[in-house]
Amino acid sequence: MKAILQTFDGYFKKSFGAFVVALLLLGCQAPSIQTGADAEISFDGLHRVDNARADDVWMLPGVDFSKYNKVRLDETQISYRPVQEPSQTMRSVGTNSEFPLDQNQKLKLEIAAKEAFLEALAKSKHYTLVTEEGTGVLEVSASLIDVVSRVPPENADRGDVFLTEIGVATLVLELRDSATEQLLVRSTDRRRVENNTMVRSTSVRNMSEVRMALRQQAKLLTENLDKLHLSQGI
């Protein structure tokens, strides 16, 4: 459990708040959608957003988010980079930098993320949390892809571990009109997870920090979706 907990402790703190599309409105330069003959357009008709904090942000021009008064959280999809089990001669941190996660660890992350975001979205000022698609329902989906853990598993023969780099992953966020299934926004961001200082890994500390990080970022997501609702788009 140690590996997955430390990986997503730092990752959610670093990435998710900056990744939410509404947070783009808070940058030093106002974000703007490319238009005109030279506009960069994705394969599915979205226009690139300039001055975004995330690596890549795309939005459908002319979207009025104020027409949505409900929000639905889609299932979180998480994919992991295939990693070989460390051999008996490669169990130390110095000889292996990528570690596999077992099914139980992956399931715990999925459950924790879902609970945190459902709890936060239920407190939205402008959206009512629902479970069904329909008119006026904004669907939020978040995917973590190519997740890499730098933290050795608990059963590794390595003693205490102090790490500065925890892991890396790409977060993909999409907003859709649930009634028409029209994609409104897509954002992708790749982040390296690093600690400010070396902290010895313990399962109790890791679990507490991951839960707190998830709740903080879920709250930030909800606050920024509320701001996007008021702004009526970019």
Say what the pLDDT of residue 222 is. 79
Per residue in 181-223, pLDDT (tens digit) is 999 999 887 765 556 666 666 555 656 666 666 676 677 777 7
pLDDT, position 19: 41
DSSP string, 17-76: HHHSGGGGGGSSS--EE--STT--B-TTSPEEEET-SSSEEEE-TT--GGG--EEEEPPP
pLDDT (0 to 100) of residue 22: 43
Regions of the chain with pLDDT less than 50? 1, 3-5, 7-27, 89-91
pTM score of the predicted model: 0.76
Enumerate the domain spans of the chain. 2-231
User: Residue 104: what pLDDT?
Assistant: 78
